């Protein structure tokens, strides 16, 4: 559909290599992922979207669609930077656990014993202590935000560290500690203050020295690089309005809230962060953390009474697709949405970044997972069928938007676009003879017939099904 960037072509080459190294051939799945995300970017009116799939220590696939700067037609690439907002919290949590391993703090230390300037009012005399552990698990009972209206546009007035600390005395607890789940940017902001207080370094220097530099995450910062805004750093755009538009959002810096929401990165650097976790879980040798410490972080430490919110130390921990344990975090800041989700059992990670609000990056990571999970043998069946003759986009209007036809493990594959659940939308057809195929039902019996027709030049231009025609779209 759209022209691919040179960087994306590089990654297509890379994925071809990794597909050969893998036990399965995912090339058809990669192609479908690209077709699907390309369509969703248009139909969902996303300015741009980048995504990567990490398999243990390698990039299995990465791609980018749309624009990072619409006004100047700057194309999105897998290297494009975005705000990762609350994924920043994972780096804060790892930093805390480094200090924990060094014996400089304990998980059950009281916050007031670690921060001299902490003076937020505890309104429940019978509450237990607010501890490092409760801050990490969003069960501290603290309010969600610091005492400033920093999520309010158009200028997003994030407070400085001093303003956050000065505002504590005007705040009070929302719940008793360790009673309910309450997501709290203030809690992770205070953990950032604890890191600086206990380590004797600035928060930025500590994260850079102990995490970003060792993992060679050269495109990850504790701030948004304003000098790269509109070039390497994507512009952020708003949620969609009734006119189908997404106005550009003003630039912001999280300032005193950076430990909770200030970082910028790209999907490839988040892939390095994921690979480190898979690597550490597979060894007995320390790397930044001891393996046992990371595993501790990725176990459930708090479960909300509603049984729906389960948290490790900084990580959300849940039973995900395939029944295995998944961990990760999402991010939502003005003009940006992101997600990093790790399938611990299968050593797969999914990173997605979108430079717009009002979107769901998990929808796209789940779609990518579903397509890859649809691969069975992972081997193309021996066939003399020229699937390329039928491959392309077909006009489904007025009943639908469009269809894409391609190949899938020796069969013809059709998918309706757009779709939120691509794996569930795949229909397979068995070749009968010539240009005739029949639908393969869920019970493997054969259903209706599809017959493709060719023009005078011998090129497929339409197909018939149930006595009606669908025409191939010329792009």
DSSP 48-101: EEEEEEEETTEEEEEEEEEEEETTTTEEP-TT-BEEEETTHHHHHHHHHHHHHH
Question: Contact 462/473 with Cβ under 8 angstroms?
Answer: no
What confidence score (pLDDT) does residue 378 get? 64
% of the chain exceeding 90 in pLDDT: 92
Binned at pLDDT 50, 70 and 90, residue 372 comes out as very high
Confidence bin at 8 (pLDDT 50/70/90):
very low
Residues 418-453 pLDDT 10s? 999 999 999 999 999 999 999 999 999 999 999 999
| List of residues 6+ apart from 220 with CB closer than 8 A | 212, 263, 264, 265, 266, 269, 270, 273
Phi, psi of 193 (to 5 degrees): -65, -40
Condensed to tens digits (0 to 9), the pLDDT of residues 115-165 reads 999 999 999 999 999 999 999 999 999 999 999 999 999 999 999 999 999
Query: What are the tokens at 449?
Result: 């017939």
CA distance 109 to 194: 11
Judge whether 140 and 134 are in contact, CB under 8 Å.
Answer: yes
Q: Is the pLDDT of residue 382 over 60?
A: no
46, 356 in Cβ contact below 8 A? yes
Nearest to 49 by CA among 363, 404, 385, 443: 363
Residue 219: what pLDDT?
98
Q: Is it the case that residue 23 has pLDDT exceeding 80?
A: no
pLDDT of residue 322: 76
Residue 384's pLDDT band (cuts 50, 70, 90): confident
The pLDDT value recorded for residue 321 is 76
Q: Is the pLDDT of residue 91 over 50?
A: yes
Burial of residue 149 (CB within 10 Å: 0-12, 13-18, 19+) is exposed
Give pLDDT tens digits for 176-218.
Answer: 999 999 999 999 999 999 999 999 999 999 999 999 999 999 9
| pLDDT value at 9 more than 60 | no
| Partners of 221 in the β-ladder | 264
pLDDT the model gives residue 18: 41
Domains in the chain, CATH or no CATH each? 85-371 (3.40.710.10), 387-472 (2.40.128)
DSSP 311: E
Residue 377's pLDDT is 76
Q: Please state the rounded mean pLDDT for residues 30-49.
A: 98
Arithmetic mean of pLDDT, 361-384? 87
Residue 286 has pLDDT above 80, yes or no: yes
What's the chain look like in SS3?
CCCCCHHHHHHHHHHHHHHHHCCCCCHHHHHHHHHHHHHHHHHCCCCEEEEEEEECCEEEEEEEEEEEECCCCEECCCCCEEEEECCHHHHHHHHHHHHHHCCCCCCCCEHHHHCCCCCCECCCCCCCCCEHHHHHCCCCCCCCCCCCCCCCCCCCCCCCHHHHHHHHHHCECCCCCCCCCCCCHHHHHHHHHHHHHHHCCCHHHHHHHHHHCCCCCCCCECCCCHHHECCCECCCECCCCCCCCCCECCCCCCHHHHHHHCEEECHHHHHHHHHHHHHHHCCCCCECECHHHHHHHCCCCEECCCCCCEECCCCEEEECHHHCEEEEEEEEECCEEEEEEEECCCCEEEEEEECECCCCHHHHHHHHHHHHHCCCCCCCCCCCCCHHHCCEEEECCCCCCEEEEEEECCEEEEEEECCCCHHHHEEEEEEEECCEEEEECCCCCEEEEEEEEECCCCCEEEEEECCEEEEECCC
Q: Tell the residue number behind the tokens 């290297």, with chain if given.
A: 79
Sole residue written with tokens 């910062």 = 221
271/349 Cα distance (integer angstroms): 7
Residue 106 has pLDDT above 90, yes or no: yes
Residues listed for the chain: 475
Could you tell me which residues come within 8 angstroms of residue 239 by beta carbon, excluding any fewer than 6 positions away? 246, 356, 357, 358, 359
The answer to whether 78 and 50 have CB atoms below 8 angstroms apart is yes
Secondary structure (3-state) at 309: coil
Q: In DSSP terms, which residues pair with 336 in a beta bridge?
A: 333
Look-up of token digits 């017959």: 451
Task: Over range 47-69, report the average pLDDT.
Answer: 98
Residue 419 contacts residue 428 (beta carbons within 8 Å): no
Q: Is the pLDDT of residue 380 over 70?
A: no
pLDDT at 6: 36
* Residues 470 and 390 sit within 8 Å (Cβ to Cβ): no
- Residue scoring higher pLDDT (80 or 2): 80
Q: State the average pLDDT for the chain.
A: 94
Q: Specify the pLDDT at position 474.
A: 80
Strand-strand pairing, 48-55 and 58-69: antiparallel
| 211, two tokens | 């995490």
């Amino acid at each position: 559909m759209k022209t691919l960037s040179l960087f994306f072509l590089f990654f297509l080459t890379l994925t071809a290599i990794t597909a050969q190294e893998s036990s399965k051939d995912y090339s058809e799945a990669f192609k479908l992922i690209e077709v699907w995300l390309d369509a969703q970017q248009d139909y969902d009116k996303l300015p741009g979207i980048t995504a990567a799939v990490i398999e243990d220590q390698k990039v299995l696939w990465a791609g980018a669609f749309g624009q990072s700067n619409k006004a100047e037609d700057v194309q999105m690439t897998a290297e494009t930077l975005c705000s990762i907002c609350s994924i920043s919290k994972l780096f804060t949590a790892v930093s805390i656990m480094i200090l924990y391993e060094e014996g400089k703090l304990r998980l059950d230390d009281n916050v007031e014993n670690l921060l001299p300037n902490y003076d937020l009012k505890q309104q429940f005399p019978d509450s237990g202590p607010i501890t490092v552990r409760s801050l990490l698990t969003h069960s501290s009972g603290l309010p969600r935000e610091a005492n400033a209206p920093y999520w309010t546009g158009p200028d997003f007035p994030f407070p400085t560290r001093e303003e956050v600390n000065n505002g504590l005395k005007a705040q009070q607890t929302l719940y008793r500690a360790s009673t309910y789940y309450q997501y709290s940017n203030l809690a992770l902001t205070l953990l950032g203050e604890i890191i600086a207080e206990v380590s004797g370094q600035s928060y930025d220097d500590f994260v850079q020295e102990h995490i970003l530099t060792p993992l060679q995450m050269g495109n990850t910062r504790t701030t948004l690089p304003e000098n790269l805004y509109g070039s390497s750093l994507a512009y952020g755009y708003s949620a969609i309005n009734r006119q189908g538009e997404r106005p550009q959002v003003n630039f912001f810096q999280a300032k005193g809230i950076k430990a909770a929401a200030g970082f910028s990165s790209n999907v490839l650097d988040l892939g390095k962060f994921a690979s480190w976790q898979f690597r550490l879980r597979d060894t007995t040798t320390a790397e930044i953390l001891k393996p046992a410490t990371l595993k501790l972080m990725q176990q459930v430490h708090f479960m909300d009474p509603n049984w729906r919110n389960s948290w490790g130390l900084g990580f959300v921990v849940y039973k995900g697709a395939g029944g295995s344990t998944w961990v990760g975090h999402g991010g939502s800041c003005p003009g940006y949405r992101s997600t990093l989700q790790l399938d611990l059992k299968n050593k797969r990670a999914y990173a997605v970044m979108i430079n717009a609000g009002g979107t769901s990056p998990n929808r796209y990571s789940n779609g990518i997972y579903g397509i890859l999970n649809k691969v069975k043998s992972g081997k193309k069946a021996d066939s003399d069928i020229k699937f390329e003759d039928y491959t392309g986009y077909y006009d489904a209007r007025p009943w639908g938007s469009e269809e894409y036809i391609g190949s899938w493990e020796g069969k013809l594959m059709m998918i309706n676009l757009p779709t939120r659940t691509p794996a569930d939308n795949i229909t397979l057809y068995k070749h009968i003879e010539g240009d005739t195929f029949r639908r393969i039902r869920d019970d493997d019996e054969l259903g209706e017939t599809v017959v493709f027709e060719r023009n005078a030049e011998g090129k497929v231009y339409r197909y018939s099904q149930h006595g009606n025609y669908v025409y191939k779209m010329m792009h």
